[in-house]
A and B are shown apart, each in its own frame.
Chain A
């Protein structure tokens, strides 16, 4: 196949290019280098513009009581305390549901599953679930958790919906981490008579844990930034109290940002920008933990 590709491209070159015209071809090659660098530059520039424009809007509104005040109709007094606490509730419960199930499914697929059609179906299914739009998970949560299980617009319904949303990501990341554990480790354990679960629980999992945790933290950061499914399962837009149990109403950071940015007044646009800075700071902190974990485990274990 590779030879075919080469000969095909060689033919097309003979038609369009004079192989002897080396200076022209080299000039074209240099122009192409410039185009590639420019395109990459534009992509990076978009990131810089995004961050810079939001920080510029946010700067006048970044004050400490933003984190401790309740939302208010007066922009100067408005804060996102309930949204911050609500976000922690949601990602806490999301993690509680998604991690055991996700890691369990990953262990099943990597260590236990027979190579048959059901397993193949499971794998294809997980890949496809990862591509389902998040708002569709919202409709699923609305139908199953809010209406059918009658959980209403509660933290629990929101967290269960989010857990299903990040489950494919958790499974895929955990599988990769488990697959990276060398087979020799398992064989040594089997060799001294350990059962499958003993091998898994005392050798495979501890070794794979840093990798699993890294993937899990990244999945959690996805849950922290998601808005659409929570709008559908009923995160409230204007909440002036904190949830005290998992059946309470709640709001989350992205929801509060959405609510503020839809208001016409400039002050609330500024508040929305400040909310985004808080959200990005949280995400950055989570990612830093993930990077630290990865670096630590890379140092410690060497095969």
Chain B
């Protein structure tokens, strides 16, 4: 304090020591807030370390190629086989069915809400779709088992069993309609009005403006919403656990039961599993594959947005 120029000027009644204490307090708070931010980094590191560590143990018992390319998954049987392809195939079937349901319905709803709906219709339909997004996935699983299969699919396909990829896929599709609709609508609405007016002024009809002017301009956002929808479908768990069955098989028939990667994880924990056993370790290998697939899709969608986004003033 002796070197303080203010003090040497004789104005020693100006006490600045509080400022120093303040400075320390400020720094502590800044560090605490930074630590809060780092929790999310730690979460990612934790996911990767836990999955990779246990999966590594697993690959010491089951070689990586026979895991990735094996065509039989019987982890909980007496003679276990750990070929992940049936689980991947089940996951892809359900994702494909879900996308066939959700992409057209989601995109068309988004187009309606963005380009056609009156403010009043929008105010009713948008919250309804948001409500659909807030329903827990277990409810969709129950809906697939008690309504979609017996009331809709059974009359069409009399041979359908109690569990099928089709019923689960349709339910997953309904679940992701709001995601596609809301993200695509955001993209469509961000296209400036002047583009639409230009199209209309040139004599284009309303649907020509919607599909040949607005949609191409919003393409990156629409594609990103499709990719995110696929990622959500791959990771969806409770619907498939209830409606798709627990038979891991390579099948070309969606009317048959199938097991997905997520479905297998839940099935194992619904029974008893010995920590450290090979079936237990296989969970982490499957989890790691699931994590990498969804992460890849998420990064891809971000890349699509940043690379192909049309920027208007």
Residues of A within 8 A of B (CB): 1-2, 5-6, 8-10, 12-13, 19, 25-26, 28-29, 32-33, 35-37, 39-40, 42-44, 46-47, 49-50, 53-54, 57, 100-105, 107-109, 112-113, 121-122, 124-129, 131-140, 142-144, 147, 164, 167-168, 171, 195-197, 218, 221, 224-228, 231-232, 234, 237, 254, 257-258, 261-262, 269, 272-273, 276, 279-280, 283, 287
Residue contact A54 to B269, C-beta cutoff 8 Å: no
Q: Answer whether residue B275 sits at the interface, using C-beta atoms and an 8 A cutoff.
A: yes
Residue contact A109 to B37, C-beta cutoff 8 Å: yes
List CB contacts (< 8 Å) of B121-163 with chain A: 125, 128-129, 131-132, 134-143, 145-147, 151
Residues of B close to A109: CB separation below 8 A: 37
Residue contact A47 to B39, C-beta cutoff 8 Å: no
Within the complex, the shortest CB–CB distance from A187 to chain B, in Å, comes to 18
Residue contact A135 to B265, C-beta cutoff 8 Å: yes
Q: Chain B: interface residue count, which band?
A: 35 or more
Residue contact B105 to A276, C-beta cutoff 8 Å: no
Q: Tally of A-B residue pairs with Cβ under 8 A?
A: 283
Q: Answer whether residue B287 sits at the interface, using C-beta atoms and an 8 A cutoff.
A: yes
Contact indicator per residue, chain B 241-281, by CB within 8 Å of chain A (1) or not (0): 11000000000000000000010011001100001000000
Residues of A close to B202: CB separation below 8 A: 6, 10
Residues of A close to B141: CB separation below 8 A: 258, 261
Tell me whether A279 and B212 are in contact in the complex, defined as CB-CB below 8 angstroms, given that A100-B36, A143-B54 are known contacts: no
Residues of B within 8 A of A (CB): 22, 25-26, 29-30, 32-41, 43-44, 46-47, 50-51, 53-54, 104-106, 108-109, 111-113, 116-117, 125, 128-129, 131-132, 134-143, 145-147, 151, 174, 177, 181, 192, 194-195, 198-199, 202-208, 210-213, 216-217, 228, 231-232, 234-238, 241-242, 262, 265-266, 269-270, 275, 283-284, 287, 290-291, 294-295, 297-299, 302, 310, 312
Residue contact A107 to B33, C-beta cutoff 8 Å: yes
Could you say which of B41, B181, B235 contacts A133, with CB atoms under 8 Å apart? Answer: B235
Closest A residue to B298 by beta carbon equals A131
Tell me whether A2 and B128 are in contact in the complex, defined as CB-CB below 8 angstroms, given that A113-B37, A129-B40 are known contacts: no
